[in-house]
Structures are given as C-alpha cells and as structure tokens.
A and B are shown apart, each in its own frame.
Chain A
C-alpha cells in the first residue's frame, strides 16, 4: 500500500528541500536550486520520480504554478523528464562543457560567498572545512 516516489524500493528519506518565502529570490528558483543540489550530490539519481506538483506545492504551501515552474526550469536544463499525467522523473544528463567565461562567473560567485561567510565571522579554517566536506560528498 505504501508508495514511494522513487523506484526500485529506494527511499530518499534524507532528501529535503527548504525555502524561505521572505527571501528576495523567487520561490520557484529556490526550489529548482535545491533540487539541482540534490541531483548533483546524488541524493536523487536518474530514474527517481519527484513528488507530484500538487503534493510538493501543498507541503511547501505555495501555488501549483510555483512548483510547476521549478520543474519546467530543471527540465530545460536537462535534469528532469516532465510529461503530462505522470510524475516528473530524474533523467541521465550529460553535463555541458563549461566555457572559461562560465567558470569565471562561478568563481566570482564562490569568492563572494566565501567573503560573506568571512564577513559574518566564520573563521577561514571553518570555511575550508566546509568546502572540503562538500567536495568530498560530491566525489563520493
């Protein structure tokens, strides 16, 4: 009786997304961003089905369109297969070859993020530790 959104009996109980409606970033972008993180970190793998738009919207107390827009964005990026009448499914995605300009853009973002952490009082050793942990999780 108990159904899982994932296939093959796999349960992704630790996969959780968290949004802040008071943030200046639109809710659909926050949802997309957090799901993308779960895909990259392997918490959700190709073949896994995402919750129906209605269910996720209800749990997050946002409009259906907000979740639908996030799924659409991820589908455009190649992460999801969204078809009518069935749950969105994670698909195998070939990462595009990054251009130098693209890498530079992200480097700037990382620098800004690290500067924000340092400015808010996080010591350099802690920043290094956090980055190492994230990289290790990504590689494993």
Chain B
C-alpha cells in the first residue's frame, strides 16, 4: 500500500519534471524564460547552455523530492509528506528565476509599435454569459435537493475516500457539513468567473498585423478552456455533494470519471494552447521586459490592463501594478482560509 501511494506521487512528480524539462521549448518563439530574445537565441550556444542548467536543477530537485517523499512515508508524516510534494515546484521556480536572470543578458528591446481598433467594442455574447451562469445550477441544485431530503439523510456519512476507494473520513450530519461542498464549489466557480471576466474585459484586444489575429484566438481559447473547466468542476462537485446518498462503489466510479474528465479538459486545452504559442505569429505582447519580476510576475502601474498574456505558462496572469489584482489575491486568500477553517469545524 505504501509503495502504491509513493508510486502515485512519484509518477506525478516525474510528470511535472517532464513538463519543466520541455517548458523552454514550449514557449513563444521570441520569449525565453520570460525574456524577449532574438529569433534564433534558443538554438545558440548560450541559449542551449541556459536550458541545460535549468534542466539539471529541475531533475536534481525531482530526485531530492522523491527521496524526501519516501522518507516521510516511512516516518508516516502525512503533513510533511504533503509539503514535500511541493518541494519540486519550488526548485523548478528557483531554476526558472536563475535561467531568467541569465537570459536577460541577451534580451532584445521589443518593438514599440502599438495599435488599437477604434470602432470595435468588446461586448459579450448571450451564449458566453449562459456558459458562465449555468454551471452554478449544479451546486445550487444539489444543495436544494439535499435540503429537501435533510430529514431522510443518515446521521453520519463518509466525506473522504482513500486511493483504494474505502471511506477514511466521516462527519456528522449538519447544515454546514451538507452544504460545505456546494458552497466551496460556488466560491471556486465565482473565482473562475472573475478570471473569465478579467480576460474578457481586462486584457488587450490585440496588437497590429498578424499578431492581432493570434492574440484574439489565444484569448478566445483561454476563455473556452476556463468555461469548460467550470462545467466539469460543477458536475464533479455536484456529484460529490450528493455522495451522502450514493454507495462507495458508485462514488468511486463517478469521481474517477470526473477526475479523468477534468484532467482531459485541462490537458487537451494545454496542448492546444502550447501549439498556438509556438506558432510563428505568436510573439511577445506589448509588455516591457523590465516589468516582469522573475519572468513570472508582471508589475506595471502604467499599464491599465488587469491581466496580460503570461510568459511562464500558456494562459494569462495578473498585472500586479493594477490595484484590482491585489483585491483578487485578497479574495482568493480569504476564500481559501475561510474554506479551510470551515473544513476544520466539521466533525
């Protein structure tokens, strides 16, 4: 059992390491570790040396993480085991920052050309609006159904299941315990809505020439991806909400299907976004290099954009020079801490 548990985490760790390994190749052609570089830089001697060093750090971090995970499992330190799982990402981020610093020596100045459509407004379609609203019906509907069946539900029921499908945590029936999952689901959906609206109304509509078309397609695909994640998350959490009346076997099957659906959605869109990022017209956007901290965080108070195209991932990131972004971070932290406190209150 211990070996299976370690095997699952080891598999995930190696998968993340592989993603880090190929990350330098999966980015826009004129970006290298978040730095604007000349077209052929990544194939140059220095470009290859930066990637080699980055990968060496990533794999060393992965080996250390696997070792630490095994030791924590042997010592049965569950909390430290969970923390150790993040060690690799920490090492990967530090390796990224190191590579970013090195790549900056060969940075080139991005073109200062900017363009904007005057007559084309950014509205929203009714279909897009429905796509954002309808996922809320899942958790709200399941909460309403639970409320109507409240008296018929068992006094004590399982809320957590192990890798083998056996329930390993139970709670006593209460309104908080019953509505916890739908509530968290609604909050997560709300966060996703904020991000969707942020991308829809708080990002640039595109710059000039060929890149204008690319930027619009990239933005549209991100919006479709986030909306799809909302739908899958809504369905999965709705099933989880009514788990109290389902058999362990049914829950196991449905959760497996839900997890696979969520992973397939994310991976499918990530592949599409990566391919799009590597297109010749997918160059850097209008953000200055000096406003990217560590090649990951964008801070530019002079830029009114709420979100901009990310330089270290396939989507969008916040402009921390915009006050709204900090409000979003506060909202996110409040929701995470609030959900944790509520979960601790369940017995």
Digitize B97-130: 1 where CB-to-A-CB distance is under 8 Å, 0 elsewhere: 0000000000000011111111111111110010
Contact A13 B120, beta carbon cutoff 8 Å: yes
Checking A3, A22, A38, A54 against B121 with a beta-carbon cut-off of 8 angstroms, the contacting residue is: A3
Q: How far is the CB of A18 from chain B (nearest CB, A)?
A: 4
| Chain A interface mostly | loop
A10 to B118, CA, bound (A): 12
Contact A58 B125, beta carbon cutoff 8 Å: no
A27 to B85, CA, bound (A): 49
Contact A59:B124 (CB < 8 A) given known A17-B118, A19-B113, A21-B114: no
Checking A4, A5, A15, A59 against B204 with a beta-carbon cut-off of 8 angstroms, the contacting residue is: A59
A20 to B115, CA, bound (A): 9
Given contacts A4-B121, A16-B116, A20-B114, 7 further A-B contacts (CB under 8 A): A1-B129, A12-B118, A20-B113, A21-B114, A59-B114, A62-B114, A63-B302
The closest CB in chain A to the CB of B302 belongs to A63
| Chain B interface mostly | loop
A44 to B168, CA, bound (A): 67
Between-chain CB contacts (< 8 Å), 6 pairs? A13-B117, A18-B114, A58-B305, A59-B116, A59-B205, A63-B304
The 5 A-B residue pairs with the shortest CB-CB distance, nearest first, are A12-B119, A21-B112, A59-B116, A2-B123, A22-B112
- Return chain A residues, CB-CB under 8 Å to B111: 22
Task: Decide yes or no whether A60 CB sits under 8 A from chain B.
Answer: yes
A23 to B123, CA, bound (A): 32
Contact A18:B115 (CB < 8 A) given known A59-B204, A62-B302: yes
Q: How far is the CB of A45 from chain B (nearest CB, A)?
A: 11
Chain B interface: which size bin? Answer: 20 to 34
Task: Decide yes or no whether B202 CB sits under 8 A from chain A.
Answer: yes
Contact A11:B119 (CB < 8 A) given known A2-B125, A20-B113, A58-B202: yes
Task: Decide yes or no whether B303 CB sits under 8 A from chain A.
Answer: yes
- Return chain B residues, CB-CB under 8 Å to A15: 117-119
Task: Decide yes or no whether B286 CB sits under 8 A from chain A.
Answer: yes
Checking A20, A56, A64 against B112 with a beta-carbon cut-off of 8 angstroms, the contacting residue is: A20
Task: Decide yes or no whether A107 CB sits under 8 A from chain B.
Answer: no
- Return chain A residues, CB-CB under 8 Å to B248: none
The closest CB in chain A to the CB of B125 belongs to A1
